[in-house]
């Protein structure tokens, strides 16, 4: 079948997007200083190699912007944490709507640890946590999202997941987001010989 994108409602477009772009990595973002907000975002990628810059899209609520983007723009810093698969229940639960006065991290009992270069704390048990400084927000159409970009100013990497100067994916055990409340875990890894010039 062929689907003409101009015929789709926002909801139908969303359904096709989340089914087409799979599995998506998940930025589990801590933001805010006194009240530490925690929420997952899977419209997530790195957008620059050096400096390392990360981006994710924050969709709009009917009547307000999400706490994460409000905090990021207000404080200018945040942490992108990467969860291991054993953190899935808390990651999923942290997507519930709470008023800005509620810290999802505190509510769910997810332990925080101080960051090194920024005031926003990171997640203690995340195998990888990237401290970020806010770079920009790009707003798309009224029905689109807002793309938030930040520069990584520091990495916290658990000793157990490092091997030979690299992050070992099998030790991180990352999650992927599929359509709806569905996730993937790391499956078998296939390795091929490098391609010249690739
Ligand atoms: C795995 C997962 C991925 C998500 N990805 C996104 C996303 O990319 N963009 C978005 O706006 N919301 C996404 N959400 C929903 C937000 O996490 C949710 O709206 C959350 O309440 C936002 O919290 P905040 O208002 O504290 O920022 C996702 C939810 C889950 C469970």
Residue 70 burial by Cβ neighbours in a 10 Å radius (0-12, 13-18, 19+): middle
Alpha carbon 133 to chain centroid, angstroms:
15
SS3 percent helix, strand, coil of the chain, rounded to 5, is 20, 35, 45
Report the residue among 66, 85, 88 best suited for mutation to probe ligand 1: largest number of ligand atoms under 8 A from its CB.
Answer: 66
Q: Is residue 29 predicted with pLDDT exceeding 90?
A: yes
Closest CA to 181 of 97, 99, 88: 88
CA 21 to chain centre: 15
| Cα–ligand 1 centroid distance for 128 (angstroms) | 19
Domain boundaries, the chain: 25-121+129-176
Pinpoint the alpha helices (H) of 88-198: 88-93, 104-108, 169-172
In this prediction, residue 114 carries a pLDDT of 98
Spatial separation of the C-alpha atoms in residues 48 and 149, rounded to whole Å? 10
Residue located nearest, by CA, to atom 20 of ligand 1: 95
Task: Choose the residue to mutate in 17, 24, 27, 41 for probing ligand 1, maximizing ligand atoms within 8 Å of C-beta.
Answer: 41
| pLDDT surpasses 90 at 18 | yes
C-beta of residue 32 within 8 angstroms of C-beta of residue 44: no
- Residue 26 CA to ligand 1 centre (angstroms): 10
Residues in the chain: 198
Digit-coded pLDDT (tens) for 132-178: 999 999 999 888 899 999 999 999 999 999 999 999 999 999 999 99
Task: Please state whether the predicted TM-score (pTM) of the whole model is above 0.95.
Answer: yes
Which CATH architecture describes the domain 25-121+129-176?
Roll (2.30)
């Amino acid at each position: 079948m062929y689907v003409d994108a101009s015929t789709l409602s926002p909801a139908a477009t969303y359904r096709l997007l989340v089914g087409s772009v799979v599995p998506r990595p998940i930025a589990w973002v801590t933001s805010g200083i006194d009240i530490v907000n925690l929420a997952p975002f899977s419209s997530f990628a790195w957008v620059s190699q050096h400096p390392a810059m990360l981006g994710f899209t924050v969709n709009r609520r009917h009547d307000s912007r999400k706490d994460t983007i409000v905090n990021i723009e207000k404080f200018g810093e945040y942490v992108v944490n990467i969860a291991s698969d054993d953190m899935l229940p808390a990651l999923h639960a942290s997507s519930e709507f709470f008023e800005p006065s509620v810290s999802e991290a505190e509510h769910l009992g997810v332990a925080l640890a101080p960051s090194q270069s920024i005031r926003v704390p990171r997640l203690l048990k995340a195998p990888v946590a990237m401290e970020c400084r806010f770079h920009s927000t790009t707003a798309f159409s009224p029905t689109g999202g807002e793309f938030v970009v930040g520069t990584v100013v520091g990495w916290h990497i658990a000793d157990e997941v490092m091997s030979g100067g690299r992050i070992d994916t099998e030790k991180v055990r990352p999650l992927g987001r599929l359509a709806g409340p569905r996730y993937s875990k790391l499956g078998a890894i296939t390795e091929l010989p490098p391609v010249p010039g690739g």
